[in-house]
Structure 1
Amino acid sequence: MVKRFLYLIIYIVLFIPSLGKAQINTERVMSIARNALYFEDYVLSIQYFNQVINAKPYLADPFFFRGLAKFNLDDYQGAEKDCSEAIDRNPFVVSAYQVRGLSRIRQDNYKGAVMDYQTALKLDPENIVLWHNMALCRLRLNDYEGAKADLDTLLTISPKYTKAYLIRSEIDLQQKDTITAEKDIRRSLDLDKYDPDAWNTLALLHLRQEKWQEAEGDLDQAIHLSTKDATPYINRALARFHQKNLRGAMDDYDLGLRVDPNNFIGHYNRGLLRAQVGDDNRAIEDFNFVLNIDPADMMATFNRGLLLDQTGDYKGAIRDYTTVINKYPNFLVGYQQRAAARRKIGDLKGAEQDELKVLRAQLDRQNGLRKSMVNDTADENEEDDREQTRKRSDKNMNNYHKLVVADSDEETTKYKNDYRGRVQDKNVAIKPEPMYALTYYEKSSDVKSQVNYYKFIEQMNNSKVLPDRLLITNNEAALTEEEAKKHFTSIDEMSAQIVAHPDDVNKKFARAMDFYLVQDFDNALKDLNNVIEQSSDFFPAYFMRSLIRYKQLEYQRMSGDDGVEKLAVKAIDYDSVKKDLDKVIELAPDFVYAYYNRGNVESMMKDYHAALVDYDQCLELDSKFADAYFNRGLTNIYLGNNRQGIEDLSKAGELGLYSAYNIIKRFTDVKE
C-alpha cells in the first residue's frame, strides 16, 4: 500500500524528524524544492512546495517559489495567484511583485503589472529590471510620457543601460520624432556596438526614411552579430528590393525562412518575387503556405490564382478568382482574370457574364457614379499605385501585387515583449557547456550527433543491475510527474532491498541515483559515501559525488539572485569536487567525461591553464568531442588567445554546437 502514496513515501524516507510528531522537516523540503527549481525540474519542485504549504500554510516563501515554478511552466494564472498568496503573507519581498507583474503581463494585464512594479520600486528604487519592465508596460498602454519618465529614471540609475535608449527610440518613432530617435539609437551604439538590437532599430529607422542603402548596411551588422532572428533578413530583403537587387532579396527571404519557416511576410514576398522572375511553381508553393496560415487572405488567394492561370491550371485559377470575387464583388480585375480563364476552358457564357460586369462598371465610372460602386476594397488612391509595398493590414485588393511590410505595431513587438527578469530569461551570457552526468533521462537534440559511450557503463546496462538504462549526458531532462512518482516508489523499494542485502553496492548506487533525480542531494551523497566505503574502486560513485557537490556549490553561489543571502563559495570547496574527479581518472584513465568535468571545475576556479590541459586530454581521447572544443575555445578567449579560441569554437559549431557561431561573431568585426 505504501507504494501508492507518493507523499507518504516522502514522509517516511526523507522528512520525518520524529515519528512521534509526524511532521515534515520544512526547511529540508524547501532546500530540496529550491534545488529542483534551480535546476529547472519544475514539476518536481511543485510537489515539494505543496508539502511545505500543507504543513505550514502561513509561510510566504513556498507560495512564491511555487508561483515561480508555475510561471516557468506557462501557468501564468496559477503563478499570479501564488504570488498574491506570498504577498499577503509578506508584502516586503520584491521578487514576488516582479513575478506577479510578469504573470500579469502574460495575461495582457499591463495596468496590474504597473501597479506591481510601482510597489516593488518603493522597496527597491534602483532595481533596473523593474524600471525596464514598467516602461515597456506603459508603452503597451500608449502612455509614452510615463514610459519616457521611467526610462529617464532608469538612465539616471544606470547611464550605460543600452536597452533604455532603444526603448526610448521606439517611443520617439511612435511620436514621429525621427531626429531624437536616431540620437537615442546612436547613443546605444556608442555604448555597445555589438548589440544586434541596436543595429536592427537603426535599420528600421532608415527603412522608414527610405534610406535603403544605409538600412542594408545596418542589417549587415545585425545579421553578423546574430543569426537567430528572421526579421533582419526579411528587412534586408526589402532594402535590397528597393535597390533593384531581386536576387539578393530572394536570397534573404530564403535565409529568413530557414530561421523562421512560418514567417508570413517571408513566404508572401518570396512568392511575389518568384512570380516576377518566372519561377511560378515555387511561387505557388509559397502562396499555398501563406494560405495554410491564413486561409482568409484574399490577396494571397488572388496571386495564387494568377499563378495557377499562368501554369495552365485554369480550374484552380477560376476557383481562387471566385473566392476573391465572393468576398469583394466589385473587384474588377478579378472579373477580368476570371473571364479570360473561363474562355480558356470553353465556358463562353460565364466569360461573357464577367465581361458584362466589367463593362457596366466602366460605364458607371464614366457617368460619375461613386467609386465605391466600382471598387469596394477600401482606400484606393493614386499614391497607392506609386508605392511598391503595402502594410500587412491593408485590405485594398488593388495592392495585391505589392510586397508586404509589417504594420507599425508589429515593428515594435520586439521591445514590447522584451520584459526582463531572471525567472523567464534563459542565460544568454557566454558560458561553458555544462557538466556531464550519469542519468536515466536526456533531452533530445536535432543537431548534436555526439554518441556518449563508455564500456563499463554499457556493461552495467547489459547486466541490468540498475532499474533503468544509464546514460552519459550534459543535457539532462527534468522529470515528469509520473517519472518523479516512479523514483519515489523506487526509493522505497530499494530501501527495503538494502535492508535485506546490506552489502549490495549496486542497490545503494541505484538508490543514490533515485535521490539525485528527485533533487535530494544530501541523501544521494550519503548513499554514494557508503558505496565508496564498501567499494573504493567503483568510479561511477566518485563521478556522481563530484557532480552533486558541484551542483550544490553552483546553487549556493547563485542563490542570492532570489533575495536569499549569497553564500561564500571558496576555491577550497571546489577542491573536493576536483579530488573526486582525480580519483575517477585514476580508476578509469580513458573516461573522457571526467577530464571534461575537471576542466570545467578548473575554469570555474579560474585556473584556465589547468583547464586547457584537461580539455586537450579530452580531445586526445575523442577528437569529435564538441563540448570540449567549445569550452577550450572559451578558455582560450578568457586568456586572450582569441585566434585559437575562435578556431576551437568553429570546430564545435561544425560538430553541431551552433551557438558557437554567434560567439565567434561577437569576437570579430564585420568587414567593411
Structure 2
Amino acid sequence: MMKKISFFLLLFPTVLFAQINTDRVMAIARNALYFEDYVLSIQYFNQVINAKPYLYEPYFYRGLAKIQLDDFQGAENDCDEAIQRNPFVVGAYQIRGLARIRQNKYDEAIDDYKIALKYAPENITLWHNLTLCHLQKKDYEGAEDDLGKLLAIAPRYTRGYLMRGEVALRQQDTIRALKDFDKAIELDRYDADTWASRAMVRLQQGQYAEAETDLDRATHLNNKNAAHYINRALARFHQNNLRGAMTDYDIALEVEPNNFIGHYNRGLLRAQVGDDNRAIEDFDFVLKIEPDNMMATFNRGLLKAQTGDYRGAVSDYTTVINEYPNFLAGYYHRADARRKMGDRRGADADELTVMNIQLDKRAGVSTNTSSTNKDLADNTDDEETDEDGKTRKKSDKNMNNYRKIVIADSSEAEQRYTSDYRGRVQDRNVNVKLEPMYVLSYYEKLSDVKRIVHYHKYIDDLNRSRALPERLRITNAESPLTEEQVQKHFAMIDTHSGAIVTDERNAVKRFARALDFYLVQDFSSSVDDLTQVILLDDTFYPAYFMRALVRCKQLEYQRAEELQNTTATIGGATKTEVNAMDYDIVKSDLNKVINLAPDFVYAYYNRGNLLTMLKDYRAAIVDYDKAIQLNPDFAEAYFNRGLTHIYLGNNKQGITDLSKAGELGIVSAYNIIKRFTEQ
C-alpha cells in the first residue's frame, strides 16, 4: 500500500511538490537519460524542477536530454538556468556550446568553451569543439592555436591531426596537410577517416592511383560512408575505369539512396557506356531532388533523343532554352530532335537562331533579351573545374559543362570535420562492443534486416493466458517509450497497485507492476517487486530473469557514474562502489533460470554476456556454445562468441563466428571482421 501512495506522489507532483523524494526521482531520471529514454527522463526532471527549482542539476540534465531530441533552443535555455544556479559546472557550458553550435551561434559557443576551459584546461572534448567553431568561422589562425594546445595535452589524439590537416588544406598547404594525415594513419590505421583524409589530398594532387589505394582502405574499414565510394569513383574515373566508378556509385547509392552526386555522375557514366534507359532513371531522380537543375534536364533530353523519345527531348531542351536563351547546344539539339519528328519549320527556326547568335558574338553584339535572362554559356570560371576539364563543382552553372562529372563544392567538403562536434557527457565507448542482453518487454525496435520473433513456450503460454496487459516479447532491441506510453505505464502502475492490494498473493500481478516500473526506469522498485514475486512463487523463472537483467543495468549505470566521477567533469554526483559480489547476485539469478528452464536459451546468452563483462572469457564461451547448441541460428550468440574469441587472441575462430553473425543479419559484424583482418 505504501508503494502505491509513494508513486501517487510521483504521478501527481502538483499536489505536494516538496514531499516527493527528489533524490530518488533525480536518480531515476538520470538512469533514464543514460539508457537513452529521453522523453521519460525529461518528465522526471520536470518533477524535480517543480519541487526544488533552485537546483542546477535537473536543468542541466534536462538540457542534455533535449539536445538528444534536437531541441537546441530548449537545451540552451536549460543550460542558462543551470549556469545561473551554479556557474562552475563545466558540463553546462559544454552542452550549451553544443546547443549554440547547432543554431549557428559560433561566437557564443566559443565563449562557452573558453569559460569551460578555465575550469577544465585538459578537457579534450572542449578543445575539439572550440577548434571546429574556429574552422566554421574560417579563423584558421585561431583553429591552429587551439590544435597546438590540444595536441600538447593529447599528442596521440588522432582527430587533432586530422583537423590540423584540414586547416592546412583550407590554406592550400597540401604538403603540411599530408604530413598531418600521415601522422594520423601512423597513430590509428584502423580509423577509416585517416585514410579518406589523405586520399582527398592525393585527389587534389592528381595522384589518382594512390588516392584509390587509400580509399580502398577507407571502404574496407567503414562500408557505411557513401562519401568514400563517391571519392573512389572519382579516382577511378580519372584513370578511365568507368565500370569501376559506376560500381562505386552503385554502392554509394545503396548506402545513401538520395545522394545527388551519386545519381548525377552515374547517369553521365551510364550514358557514356550506352546504358541510356537507366541513365534517364538517374536524371529523373536528380530532377526530383532539384527540379530546376538545368544540366540534369539537358542531359535527360539528350538521352531521350537517343532512345527515340523526341517529343520528351524537345520538352527538356525547351525548358533549358527558356532559362538560358543563348545556349547554342540547346538550339542545335532541339533542331535535330524536331527534324527527326517531322517538325521542319521548328528545326529551321532553331538553326536560324544558332546562326544569328554566332553572328552576333562575332560582331560583339549582346544577345540577352532581358536583364533577368541568364547567359551562362559564356560564363566560364576556371576555378570551377579541374585542370584536365573532366569535372566541375556542384555549384557551377555554366551550361557548357553539362557533360562533366560533378564534385562537391568546397563548402560541402569542409563539413567532414565541422559536423564532428562532441557533446554527450555520458558518451560511451563506440568501438567494438557486445550485442545487448535479452529482456522481457512489451516493446521492441523494428529492424529492416532482422525480422526474427523470439519464442519460448512458457512465455507464449503466459501471453495466451492474458494475465499481462500486453503481449510479452523476448528482445534485445528495446524501444524507448513515447510520451503517451510513459503516461500509460504510470497509470498502469497505479492500476496494478490497486489490484495487488486486493490480491496480495498473486505473483503475476506483481510481476506486471515490476515490468511497468522497469519500463519507466524505476529499477529499484522493479527489483523490489520481482523479489516479492519470487517469494510468492519461486518457480516463476521470468522473475529471476528480469531481476538479473534489471540489476545488471543498475550496475552498468553505477559503473558509468564512477567513471564520470573519476573524470570530474561535472560535480554533484555521489560515488557508488561496484564490486564482484554485486555481479555474483546477478549470476545467481541466471543460474536459477537455467535450473528452472534449461531450454531457455536467453539465460545462457545473458550469463555469457555477464561473464564477458567480468573478463571470464572461457566460461562465457561455454555459455555461448550452449546457446548456439539450443538455437543454431542465434545471431547475437555467434557475434558475442566471436568477439570473446578475439578478446582471447583467437582471431581466426572469432572471425568465423562474426561471419556467421553477419550472415544471420548483424551487419556490423562485417566492419569488425575488416578491422581484424589484415589486407
Query: What is the TM-score when the length of structure 1 is the normalising length?
Result: 0.96
RMSD of the TM alignment (CA)?
2.0
**Structure 1 residue 527 corresponds to structure 2 residue 529:** yes
The 5 Å alignment of 1:228-239 reads 228-239=224-235
Contact kept? 1:556, 1:567, Cα under 8 Å? yes
Distance 1:46 1:664 in 2: 39
- Aligned runs of 1:424-503 on 2, under 5 Å? 427-503=429-505
Q: Is the 8 A contact 2:230 2:262 kept in 1?
A: yes
Report the Cα offset of residue 451 of structure 1. 2.6
Any unmatched runs of 5+ in structure 1? 1-7
**Superposition map of 1:125-524 within 5 A:** 125-369=121-365, 375-377=375-377, 379-380=379-380, 386-423=388-425, 427-524=429-526
- Write the letter of the residue equivalent to 2:285: F
Does the CA-based 8 Å contact 1:52-1:62 persist in structure 2? yes
Tell me what 2:657 maps to: 648
Structure 1 segments of 4 or more deviating over 4 A?
8-11, 13-17, 19-22, 370-375, 381-386, 423-427
Q: Look up the match of 1:550.
A: 552
Which amino acid in 2 is paired with 1:578? K
What letter corresponds to residue 673 of structure 2 in structure 1? I
Post-superposition offset of 1:192: 1.2
Quote how far apart the aligned CAs of 1:412 are.
1.9
Pick the aligned partner of 1:113 from 105, 109, 114: 109
Query: How far has the Cα of 1:377 moved from its partner?
Result: 3.7
CA distance in structure 2 between the aligned counterparts of 1:427 and 1:606, rounded to whole angstroms: 17
Mean Cα deviation higher: 146-155 or 412-421 = 412-421
Name the SS for the 2:554 alignment partner.
helix
Relative distance call for 1:87 and 1:640 in structure 2 (3 A) is: same
Say if 1:139 and 1:416, in contact at 8 Å, map to a contact too. Answer: yes
For structure 2, list consecutive stretches of 5 or more residues without a partner in the other structure.
Answer: none
Please say if 1:593 is aligned against 2:602: yes
Report percent identity of matched pairs.
Answer: 63
Q: Distance in 1 between matches of 2:629 and 2:48?
A: 49
Cα 1:519–1:377, aligned 2, differ >3 Å: closer, same or farther?
A: same
Task: Answer yes or no: is the 8 Å Cα contact 2:26–2:58 preserved in 1.
Answer: yes
1:482-503 CA-partner distances (Å, limit 9, x unpaired): 1111111111111111111111
609, 612, 616: which one pairs with 1:607? 616
Checking the alignment, whether the CA contact within 8 Å between 1:135 and 1:146 is kept in structure 2 is yes
Name the SS of the counterpart of 1:551 in structure 2. helix
Alpha carbons of structure 1 residues 508 and 401: separation in structure 2 relative to 1, 3 Å: same
Q: Distance in 2 between matches of 1:115 and 1:172?
A: 25
**C-alpha deviations, 1:389-418, integer Å up to 9, x for none?**
000010000000000011112112110101
The match for 2:32 is: 36
Shift of 1:348: 2.2
List per-residue Cα deviations over 1:216-266 (Å, max 9, x = no partner).
111011111110101111111111111111111111111111111111111
Deviation at residue 11 of structure 1 after TM alignment: 4.9
Q: CA 1:476–1:221 in structure 2 vs 1: closer, same or farther (change >3 Å)?
A: same
Supply the distance in 2 between the matched residues of 1:325 and 1:11 (Cα, whole angstroms): 71
CA distance in 1, matches of 2:505, 2:187: 64
Instruction: Give yes or no for contact 2:9–2:20 (8 Å, CA) kept in 1.
Output: no
Tell me the secondary structure at the aligned position of residue 390 of structure 1. strand
How far is 1:422 from its partner? 2.9
CA-CA distance at 1:349 after TM superposition: 2.2
Q: How far did residue 370 of structure 1 move?
A: 5.8
- Which is worse superposed, 213-222 or 357-366? 357-366
1:190 Cα deviation after fit? 1.2
SS of the residue aligned with 1:508? Answer: helix
1:90 to 65, 86, 96: 86
Distance in 2 between residues matched to 1:101 and 1:400, nearest whole Å: 43
**Range moving further from structure 2, 261-270 or 563-572:** 563-572
Partner SS, residue 404 of structure 1:
strand
Residue 122 of structure 1 pairs with residue 118 of structure 2: yes
Secondary structure, in 3 states, of the residue corresponding to 2:599?
A: coil
CA contact (8 A) 2:41 2:65 kept: yes
Taking a change above 3 Å as real, the CA distance of residues 393 and 580 of structure 1, as seen in their structure-2 partners, is: same
- Secondary structure in 2 matching 1:487: helix
Distance 1:426 1:576, change over 3 A: closer
Q: 1:468 to 1:63 in 2, by over 3 A?
A: same
Q: Residue type of the partner of 1:264?
A: F
Q: 1:250 to 1:127 in 2, by over 3 A?
A: same
Give the Cα separation in 2 of the matches to 1:173 and 1:213.
20
Partner of 1:580: 589
Residue 77 of structure 1: aligned partner: 73
For 2:673 and 2:543, how far apart are their aligned partners in 1? 37
Give the C-alpha shift of residue 78 in structure 1: 0.6
Q: Deviations over 1:441-482 (max 9, x none)?
A: 000001123331000000000000000000000100011111
Q: Distance in 1 between matches of 2:354 and 2:261?
A: 32
Amino acid at match of 2:656: E
Kindly indicate whether the alpha-carbon contact (under 8 Å) linking 2:18 and 2:52 is maintained by their aligned counterparts in 1: no
Query: Does the aligned pair in 2 maintain the 1:13–1:492 contact within 8 Å?
Result: no
Q: 1:301 to 1:9 in 2, by over 3 A?
A: farther
CA contact (8 A) 2:314 2:338 kept: yes
User: SS of 2:474's equivalent?
Assistant: strand
Q: Residues 138-161 of structure 1, C-alpha deviation per residue, up to 9 Å, x if partnerless?
A: 000000000000001000000000
Secondary structure of 1:623's aligned partner: coil
Describe the shift of the 1:322–1:371 C-alpha distance in structure 2 as closer, same or farther (beyond 3 A): closer
SS of residue in 2 equivalent to 1:650:
helix
**Equivalent in 597, 620, 642 of residue 633 of structure 1:** 642
Q: Tell me how many residue pairs correspond in the alignment.
A: 662
> CA, structure 1 residues 329+177, in 2 after alignment: closer, same or farther (shift >3 Å)?
same
Partner Cα separation in structure 2 for residue 367 and residue 513 of structure 1: 85
1:5 is matched with which residue?
none
| Deviation per residue, 1:415-445 (Å, 9 max, x gap) | 0101123359675211101111000000000
Cα separation, partners in 2 of 1:386 and 1:132, compared to 1, 3 Å: closer
